[in-house]
């Protein structure tokens, strides 16, 4: 049995991912392991493994004639999740660079959340744009009290559940490590909970976002689906000009990793629905590697 474990480390706006080609069947021995979640956790743990915000497998698509490749996303706690925005951007650049698909410059990806489309931005080398499955379940104005402070949380499922909290104070000084886990696990948001996106409106069409992510159970340097959620919920809640609701203007989102993401969407303020979301981020390959066989024992 071939137990080689080749991988590529990718990063987008500060989110890093381990990308593994399981599309040929050579990695079936790994995918069938009963301890796969535990192994993912070991691989993603910084200092003791490769270290990453998640792991993504490329596989053959099933039941979707228009998809060129399928993506399976795992959080660092070993949980398999439906979607990851910056992960999809990394995955796009990786499958194109490794020529795992025949298309040049763009690819249709099957995800558990639905079909996503990724493409390189020709005018800005190194940037990737991904259009993700449409969000659903927008609910505004949850009033949640933790440790004596009441927060207003707006929720939506953008692949995975997100909460957006608008803050007036200096975002850089906010104790995300304190408030993030308390809001993330609040009973108001069910057993699974939410990713929490603390959002500061810098001006019309400009945001700063800090995200506490479940699965990582910590603040990350960026979150693509979280930034997307913050972008369209900001436009809906604050009544931004029509150009933002019709995808004529992108919302610019500054993240803790130092990058600025661009988010376009089609939204209806009357029905609180969003029918299309695309985000653009900078993607880099960090390194290729082969895991030492002893790590898998």
- Tell me, what's the pLDDT at 123? 93
Q: Which residues, at least 6 apart from 115, have a Cβ–Cβ distance to it below 8 Å?
A: 64, 66, 67, 108, 109, 133
- Tell me, what's the pLDDT at 187? 97
- What's the token pair of residue 250? 């992108």
- What's the token pair of residue 94? 């990786």
pTM of the full structure = 0.96
Q: Which residues, at least 6 apart from 287, have a Cβ–Cβ distance to it below 8 Å?
A: 8, 9
- What's the token pair of residue 204? 């019309």
Annotated active-site residue 32? The verdict is no
- Rounded to whole angstroms, what are the CA distances from 77 to 37, 91, 192, 225, 269? 7, 20, 13, 19, 36
- Catalytic: which of 44, 84, 90, 278? 84
Q: To 5 degrees, how large is the angle CA 238–CA 242–CA 247?
A: 105
Domains and CATH numbers, the chain: 6-125+284-296 (3.10.310.10), 136-282 (3.10.310.10)
- Tell me, what's the pLDDT at 244? 98
Question: What letter does residue 134 receive in the DSSP assignment?
Answer: P
Count the alpha carbons within 13 Å of 10 in the hemisphere toward its beta carbon.
Answer: 30
CA-to-CA distance for 240 and 62, rounded, in angstroms?
40
CA-to-CA distance for 20 and 55, rounded, in angstroms?
8
Annotated active-site residue 84? The verdict is yes
Q: To 5 degrees, how large is the angle CA 59–CA 220–CA 207?
A: 105
- Per-residue confidence of the chain (297 residues) as pLDDT tens digits? 567 899 999 999 999 999 999 999 999 999 999 999 999 999 999 999 999 999 999 999 998 668 999 999 999 999 999 999 999 999 999 999 999 998 778 999 999 999 999 999 999 999 999 999 999 999 999 999 999 999 999 999 999 999 999 999 899 999 999 999 999 999 999 999 999 999 999 999 999 999 999 999 999 999 999 999 999 999 999 999 999 999 999 999 999 999 999 999 999 999 999 999 999 999 999 999 999 988 988
- Catalytic: which of 19, 90, 131, 223? 223
């Amino acid at each position: 049995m071939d137990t080689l474990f080749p991988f590529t480390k990718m990063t987008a706006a500060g989110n890093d991912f381990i990308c593994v080609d399981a599309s040929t069947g050579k990695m079936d021995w790994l995918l069938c392991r009963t301890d796969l979640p535990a192994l993912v956790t070991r691989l993603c743990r910084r200092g003791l493994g490769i270290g990453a915000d998640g792991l993504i497998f490329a596989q053959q698509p099933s039941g979707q004639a228009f998809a060129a490749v399928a993506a399976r996303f795992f959080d660092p706690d070993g949980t398999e999740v439906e979607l990851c925005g910056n992960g999809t951007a990394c995955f796009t650049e990786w499958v194109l660079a490794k020529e795992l698909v025949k298309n040049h410059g763009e690819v249709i990806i099957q995800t558990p959340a639905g079909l996503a489309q990724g493409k390189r931005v020709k005018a800005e080398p190194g940037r990737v744009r991904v259009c993700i499955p449409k969000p659903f379940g927008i609910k505004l104005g949850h009033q949640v009290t933790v440790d004596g402070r009441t927060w207003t949380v707006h929720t939506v499922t953008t692949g995975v559940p997100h909460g957006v909290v608008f803050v007036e104070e200096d975002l850089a000084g906010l104790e995300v490590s304190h408030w993030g886990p308390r809001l993330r696990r609040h009973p108001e948001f069910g057993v699974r909970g939410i990713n929490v996106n603390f959002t500061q409106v810098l001006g019309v069409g400009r945001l700063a976002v800090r995200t506490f992510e479940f699965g990582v159970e910590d603040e990350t340097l960026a979150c693509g689906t979280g930034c997307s959620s913050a972008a369209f919920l900001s436009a809906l809640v604050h009544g931004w000009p029509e150009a933002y609701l019709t995808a004529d203007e992108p919302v610019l989102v500054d993240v803790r990793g130092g990058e600025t993401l661009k988010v376009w969407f089609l939204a209806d303020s009357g029905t609180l629905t969003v029918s299309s979301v695309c985000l653009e981020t900078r993607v880099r390959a960090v390194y290729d590697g082969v895991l030492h066989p002893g790590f898998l024992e």
